[in-house]
Structure 1
Amino acid sequence: MPDQLELLAGGRSHAGWESIRVTRSMEHGAGSFSLAVSERWPGLDAPRQVRPGERCEVRVAGETVITGYVDEVEASIDSSSHTVSVAGRDAVADLIDCSAVRKAGQWRGLRIEQIAAELAAPFGVRVRADVDTGKALTSFAIQEGETVFDAITRAARIRALLVVSDSTGGLLITRAASARVGTTLELGVNLLKCSVKSDWKDRYRDYLLKGQAPGSDYFNGAAAAQIAARAADGGMTRYRPLLITADAPDIAATLQQRAQWEANSRAARSLTVTAVVQGWRHAEGLWAPNMLATVVANELHLAAELMITAAEFGLSGTEGSTTTLTLTRADAYTLLPIKPMDDAGNFWTVPKAQAAK
């Protein structure tokens, strides 16, 4: 199917776009869109107006990528044109914007998806998990003033889980996927632009996690009150410690996983690759976050299998339809050991012979 975008708002279908920006990201929770649209569509006798607050759906090439609400509508007119700018977000945006409110105190003995479902229920947002979320949390409580999404994310972080929109108005609790895009992105072939950024300011050498666990007849005193775990980033050579207080009471083994995840994610996210490709689709479907893709840009000393963390679909009069991909190292979201760079400081994760082809 050719690149097409459709906005369904207020039970009506709208087209005739002048410019398009649709973003899905693993980091931002809710997908977003911004469209410039003519208020009068061809073949209609009267203009149709999109209204803020309307339930909406955005379809890219026939596939639903955002289900939520219109946030903003701005009309403008001059001597030669009359346009309307429409912006909105996925339904998960209500969880991002709104405070977490609960009369009762702590949750005890519930799994993360159960806590998330209770918090999201008043907003009509469904919650599901497509992975094993681990054992039930001993206890969990809302922090004063935090949003619903922050509370859910904080609970998920205890088990190194990801919380993302599922594109149909629901919330998905998941982990980094292993699905791969068959299309290699190669500079000079199908990659229009590429940039590589290394930023170490949020990276540390030593990570110390401290927490507590509920006591019992067999587990009490200092053993329960002073649980600690450590992880190290061998790529950081200078002394840079980071002390983190655990988000909830838990056992030492889980705390150790959290420490390792913190070290891995910060090291991996220190590398950000931005790639621009023509069109909105690869050989198997739409570009989407949480998929692995091979990027080859030898001029930038890059030949790696990376995780797509964001995909932005764009349309302009100068470049046509494009997709801007944000990628980082795949171990940013796993508990696997940190992958080293080679002696020259390059991050090669595909054979150099393949990268040279």
Structure 2
Amino acid sequence: MAEDIRLTVGGKIWTGWESVTIRTGVEFLAGAFSLNVGSQWQGMMGTDQPCALSLGERPLVNGYLDKLHSVNDTDQQSRQLQGWDRAADLSACTVEPAQFRNSNLLAIINAIGQPFGVTATSQLPLQPVRWFDLFPGETGSEALDRLGRTCAVLIFSNGLGQLQVTRGRSAVRSQTALVEGENIVSSELRVDRTQRFSHYQALGQLAGMSDELAPAQRCAIAGEARDRQIKRHRPFTLLSESSVDNAQCQRRAQWQAAVAAARGWRLLVRVKGWTGIKGELWRPWVNVPVRSGWHGIDETLLVIGCTYTGSRSARFTDLELVRADAYELQPDRSD
């Protein structure tokens, strides 16, 4: 028997949904969900309330109900609820201007998230951030996106009110393989090299370093990376959004090459259910063995996005996958 999809609001548990959609991933800041209850309830909870969405006892999203669409006419009676995890407030709300000098990356992220009840964690050895400012009118997600590019890291929500900071390879491996003809319902491979370039150069300036560097040097800090899969001449130059040093510029160029390559190769897979063979939920940032003769794939890939959908008759998970090393910093990309 399928586990109930539970929405808990104010200590009360709601179940019996006509349809459910939940989306989470590493390339956007916060997850979202949509619930359709049909016409079975005469009363309904209000919006702007804390809530928890779970599959049985397993948590999926902690956040807020923010939208309600209720319809009652001769042909249709329905109610649809929409909500986001707690990190979503960072996307809509502005942050207080602030300056950080020689600060720990997690300390900066926690300072941005603290007013919204959002914390951050990381297993990476993080370098200090020499210079970072929060600008007037800037939203939390804009600041975090800029900070992530500067420091060459992914910053995303686990759905439960905590931000994850990472790059490189995932250390988590799924016990369930995705196999064509067995558990793969459908698959789609997308290869797009229009936003990949042969040569990346990152330029930046070191603010406040007049005593250490000549003006020409302060304006010529640079890092370089190559994507050797792109054979023709396609250079791309980017300017750092914050004050940086040479090492940061180098990481910025490598990160741009890595992200562009990751976005240019995607495998989309649909499987039945929301869990693997051991009952584990499909999750982003997990390595999964994939075997598909049609696409010519027999390797371990990295899940970067999960969309759970369900109705009274069936449940599916749509997985978005990239190469396992997609977010590693490499001076020369050869994948």
**TM-score under structure 1 normalisation?**
0.86
Distance 1:290 1:282, change over 3 A: same
- Aligned residue runs from structure 1 range 132-281, under 5 A: 132-135=125-128, 137-176=129-168, 177-213=170-206, 214-215=208-209, 217-281=211-275
**Residue 24 of structure 2 corresponds to which residue in structure 1?**
24
Question: Aligned AA for 1:168?
Answer: L
Distance 1:253 1:334, change over 3 A: same
Distance 1:247 1:261, change over 3 A: same
Distance 1:215 1:338, change over 3 A: closer
The question of whether the paired residues in 2 share the 8 Å contact of 1:264 and 1:338 is answered with no
**Residue 73 of structure 1 corresponds to which residue in structure 2?**
68
- Aligned residue runs from structure 1 range 27-106, under 5 A: 27-38=27-38, 40=40, 47-78=42-73, 82-102=77-97, 104=98, 106=99
Equivalent residue pairs, number: 332
**TM-score under structure 2 normalisation?**
0.92
What percentage of residue pairs aligned between the two structures are identical?
A: 30
The question of whether the paired residues in 2 share the 8 Å contact of 1:19 and 1:36 is answered with yes
> CA-to-partner distance for each residue in 1:24-59, whole Å, 9 max, x for gaps?
111121111111114646xxxxx4412111111110
SS in 2 for 1:141: strand
Q: Is 1:324 matched with 2:291?
A: no
The runs of 4+ residues in structure 1 deviating greater than 6 Å are: none
Shift of 1:316: 2.9
The question of whether the paired residues in 2 share the 8 Å contact of 1:309 and 1:326 is answered with yes
Tell me how large the CA RMSD over aligned residues is: 2.1
Task: Return the alpha-carbon distance in structure 2 between the equivalents of residues 141 and 66 of structure 1.
Answer: 31
Equivalent residue for 1:130, pick from 120, 123, 127: 123
The question of whether the paired residues in 2 share the 8 Å contact of 1:185 and 1:294 is answered with yes
Equivalent residue for 2:113, pick from 110, 120, 128: 120
**Residue 103 of structure 2 corresponds to which residue in structure 1?**
110
Shift of 1:183: 1.2
Shift of 1:308: 0.5
Task: Return the alpha-carbon distance in structure 1 between the equivalents of residues 250 and 166 of structure 2.
Answer: 20
Can you give the 5+ residue segments of structure 1 that lack an aligned partner in the other structure?
A: 42-46, 342-357
Task: Return the alpha-carbon distance in structure 2 between the equivalents of residues 48 and 316 of structure 1.
Answer: 21
> CA-to-partner distance for each residue in 1:172-228, whole Å, 9 max, x for gaps?
323352211121101101111001011112111111100112426444443333111
Distance 1:112 1:131, change over 3 A: same
SS in 1 for 2:113: helix
The question of whether the paired residues in 2 share the 8 Å contact of 1:50 and 1:73 is answered with no
Task: Return the alpha-carbon distance in structure 2 between the equivalents of residues 230 and 259 of structure 1.
Answer: 5
